[in-house]
Amino acid sequence: MQKRLVNRRLHACSKAMSGLLIGLILMLFSAHASAKSSLLARYIGEVPAGTLVQGAEAYGPIREDLPVAPILKAGQTIGWAFITSDFVGTTGYSGKPIHVLVAIGTDAVLKGVRLVKHSEPIVLIGIPQARVEKLTAGYKGLDLAAEAKAGGSGHDLNIISGATVTIMVIDDSIVRSGLRVARALGLGGLAPKVAAAGPHFEVNPDAPGAQDWLTLSSDGSVRRLSLDVGQINQAFAQLKDPRANERPAQGEPDRVFIDMHVALVSIPAIGKALLGPREFANLVSWLKDGEQAIVVMGRGSYSFKGSGYVRGGLFDRIQLIQGDTSVRFRDRDHRRLGDILVPGAPQSFKEIGLFKIPASSGFDPTKPWRMQLLVQRDVGAIERVYTTFDVHYQTPAGYLRQIAAASPATEAAEVAQDNEAERAAKTALWQRIWRDRAFEITVLAVMLLVLTAAFFFQTTLTRSAELTFWFRTSFLTLTLVFIGWYANAQLSIVNLMALFSSMQTGFTWETFLLDPLVFILWFSVAASLVLWGRGAYCGWLCPFGALQELTNHIARYFKVPQWELPWGLNERLWAVKYMLFLGLLGVSLASIDQAERLAEVEPFKTAIVLKFDRSWPFVLYAVVLLAIGLFVERFYCRYLCPLGAALAIPARMRTFDWLKRYRACGDPCKVCASDCMVQAINPIGEISPNECLNCMNCQVLYQSKTRCPVVIKKLKRRGLLAAVAEEPTERWLNRALRKLKTKESSNV
């Protein structure tokens, strides 16, 4: 009777915790309704004004029309703070945005720069975080008015070897977003862009073109950048870093370093001449509406392609720049080209590549643009210095035709189109990531379908204990190896905290769609919570949970003793994971970054994402948890997992109860309770949905003809059990029941 009372109290407590979670979510959605949609609202509270700008006292309110906040001193505005990602795309090597907090003065000079959030793998490859932060802070003092005159290249580009893409994104985003803010606020004499006066043009698809290389080169259809060894050495000698001149390029000064040619081949006359009719037709079929394409040809000792695109899919030595917009090319936007077919073309090009310009970039083929070449030089074992050279391009007038001037309404639409282009770029990014990971998505989808079928037809599956064991073992192995170590799709409490934070600062689907497998898994978790509770994910799809269970199976094979905790202690230890979850959730409401650091209580990053390739304290922590799990199965899942707690709280609200039970379960029979790997069955035989991992073992026992007393009794009544087999089985069951009752009495 007392145990039933305790169970009712636990049930009431679970409902109360579920209500608390619902209340928190509703509160966050309410906050979302009135919150700013900018990233600035999220990060401005984490960097005091005095830390960003020396002498500043506070931030003012964020403007309604522009995501910027005034920086105040003695009540006066001395500058403006903004996040780069609010104005331009900042996607880095990891495929996720790099957020930089920037302070700009009224003179358009940067007063402070702070790297506030990134997901780049720089630490994994030996680059200290502090070094990247120091380089980012070094943009303080950059004069954006001078950058506007120089087209964004009026400063030296400092890059850390091994983090080329990361630093290029940071550099580009600081300059471009800074120029946009300076123009929007009229700082440093800069003014908002207005539509150009005079005639407007578009590409004339019927314009005739030159039919030989010499004419194409002379009329500007093909532009050239030619650098010899002497010019390169002279350029590096002029850099501020004296080490740049210590390792000059080898060879005679007039030896070709790079001879690079560029042409806009999406213009029909130029494309047909350079590529030939057949290749141009292939190009047209490759391009979608609004997309453009260029061809880059090069020879010499220096490659404009480099090798970065092989490792990370991004060409890190070239970028296209038009006004405040820059376009970097990925491997999916590139095609190799064998030859240039126009008569008279040089036959000595070592590399020729076609590069697609996405429609979302806002590129205008009728306006000037430039191709920027990044040249690097080693100055140490892992250090390099860089300098840039530009190829300027203007589509020849003969390929254009005049159109009617844009009306004011059209100009307003163009401004709106710029904003839409940024959103389109984000959409294009996650769509590209989903296409790139089609294989992983397909495998995960098949796994989810198989698991769903197993749950719906669990009665059929669990008729065979051996089949159920091998099915579960195989599935867990696939979960660990594929979902975990291969795809790195381990869900984490950090995902939930990021979701709650985004509800406060402006929810966007694009952020969560950047990792397709994690997105699909969370979607499946939401569906499974309604049907089965937490067990579908925690018991079958969690890579670290699979690692624990598989290592415990190995331990059992080698006769490692198993420790069964007394029921009272087991029940009390459950509360630890709920306290950890609520603590992390509370911290995340104040500081998501601090909460992410505390979330290292999860060993997932160490054991799954980084495969134990981490500093020794993290590895030791993960190994200790796994070692305890050799004796207490799923120790971490039972008592410490905050993610498991978050999924367990709403578990009692599931729609269906799929686990079958007999009235005799728990009283007198306790076979399932003794076999439950996580002790989720209480002394009176009830299964706790908060703790059950849906391993299906109790359903195997439910149909067992040798271990379930109810089944044996039915078979015995029907005369289906041989008399010889009845007595030993019955005696074994009676002994087991007496042993369990004695053990239970000693634990109370």
Q: Given this model, what pLDDT does residue 25 score?
A: 41
* CA–CA distance, 263 with 591 (Å, rounded to integer): 49
Q: What share of the chain is helix, strand, coil (3-state, %, to 5)?
A: 50, 15, 35
Length of the chain: 748
Report angle CA 16, 17, 21 to the nearest 5 degrees: 120
Q: What is the pTM of this model?
A: 0.56
Q: Given this model, what pLDDT does residue 209 score?
A: 82
**664: pLDDT confidence band, cut at 50, 70 and 90?**
confident
Lowest-pLDDT range of 319-328, 475-484, 714-723: 714-723
pLDDT of residue 94 exceeding 90, the answer is no
User: 72: helix, coil or strand?
Assistant: strand
Helical H segments across 287-404, by residue range: 308-312
Lowest-pLDDT range of 29-38, 122-131, 281-290, 325-334: 29-38
Q: Given this model, what pLDDT does residue 226 score?
A: 94
Q: Are the C-beta atoms of 72 and 142 separated by less than 8 Å?
A: no
Q: Strand pairing of 400-403 and 200-203?
A: antiparallel
* CA–CA distance, 269 with 275 (Å, rounded to integer): 10
Over range 86-95, report the average pLDDT.
Answer: 74
Q: Are the C-beta atoms of 38 and 67 separated by less than 8 Å?
A: yes
Q: Strand pairing of 400-403 and 384-393?
A: unpaired
Q: Which is more confidently placed, 502 or 675? A: 675
* CA–CA distance, 516 with 519 (Å, rounded to integer): 5
Among the listed residues 158, 48, 63, the one whose alpha carbon sits nearest the alpha carbon of residue 103: 48
* CA–CA distance, 365 with 343 (Å, rounded to integer): 25
Q: Are the C-beta atoms of 223 and 259 separated by less than 8 Å?
A: no
Over range 590-597, report the average pLDDT.
Answer: 73
The model's pLDDT over 299-344, given as tens digits with 9 standing for 90+, comes to 999 999 886 655 556 788 898 988 767 788 887 788 988 889 899 9
- At 89, list the tokens: 């795309």
Q: Are the C-beta atoms of 704 and 711 separated by less than 8 Å?
A: yes
Q: Residue written as tokens 């600035």?
A: 40
Going edge to edge, which strands form the sheet with 110-117?
58-59, 69-73, 76-83, 99-105, 110-117
Beta bridge partners of 263: 222, 295
Lowest-pLDDT range of 33-47, 84-98, 289-303, 484-498: 33-47
Considering the chain, what is the average pLDDT of its residues? 81
- At 678, list the tokens: 């996580």
Q: Residue written as tokens 């946009």?
A: 180
Over range 335-363, report the average pLDDT.
Answer: 89
Q: Given this model, what pLDDT does residue 270 score?
A: 94
With helix as H, strand as E and coil as C, how does 448-483 read?
HHHHHHHHHCHHHHCCCHHHHHHHHHHHHHHHHHHH
The model's pLDDT over 518-561, given as tens digits with 9 standing for 90+, comes to 889 999 998 888 888 888 899 999 999 999 999 999 999 999 99
pLDDT of residue 450 exceeding 60, the answer is yes
* CA–CA distance, 259 with 172 (Å, rounded to integer): 25
Q: Residue written as tokens 């004011």?
A: 408
The model's pLDDT over 169-178, given as tens digits with 9 standing for 90+, comes to 888 889 888 9
Q: Which is more confidently placed, 217 or 488? A: 217
Among the listed residues 483, 467, 538, 546, the one whose alpha carbon sits nearest the alpha carbon of residue 515: 483
* CA–CA distance, 565 with 574 (Å, rounded to integer): 12
Distances (CA, A) of 333 to 30, 207, 294, 313: 42, 27, 11, 10
pLDDT of residue 493 exceeding 50, the answer is yes
Counting Cα atoms < 13 Å in the Cβ hemisphere of 688 gives 29
**729: pLDDT confidence band, cut at 50, 70 and 90?**
very low
Q: Strand pairing of 222-228 and 256-263?
A: antiparallel
Q: Given this model, what pLDDT does residue 700 score?
A: 85
Q: Fill in the amino acid letter for 320.
A: L
Q: Given this model, what pLDDT does residue 590 score?
A: 75
**655: pLDDT confidence band, cut at 50, 70 and 90?**
low
Beta bridge partners of 387: 375
Percent of the chain with pLDDT over 70: 78
User: Is the bond preceding residue 668 a cis peptide, omega within 30 degrees?
Assistant: yes
Q: Which is more confidently placed, 738 or 510? A: 510
pLDDT of residue 633 exceeding 70, the answer is yes
Report angle CA 217, 218, 222 to the nearest 5 degrees: 30
543 contact partners, CB below 8 Å, separation of at least 6? 479, 480, 483, 484, 485, 489, 490, 604, 608
The model's pLDDT over 14-71, given as tens digits with 9 standing for 90+, comes to 444 444 444 444 443 333 333 345 788 888 888 999 999 999 999 999 998 899 999 9
Lowest-pLDDT range of 216-220, 403-407, 511-515, 636-640: 403-407
Q: Given this model, what pLDDT does residue 413 score?
A: 56
Indicate if the alpha-carbon torsion angle 636, 638, 644, 645 is positive or negative. Answer: negative
**722: pLDDT confidence band, cut at 50, 70 and 90?**
low
Percent of the chain with pLDDT over 90: 34
194 contact partners, CB below 8 Å, separation of at least 6? 411
pLDDT of residue 383 exceeding 90, the answer is no
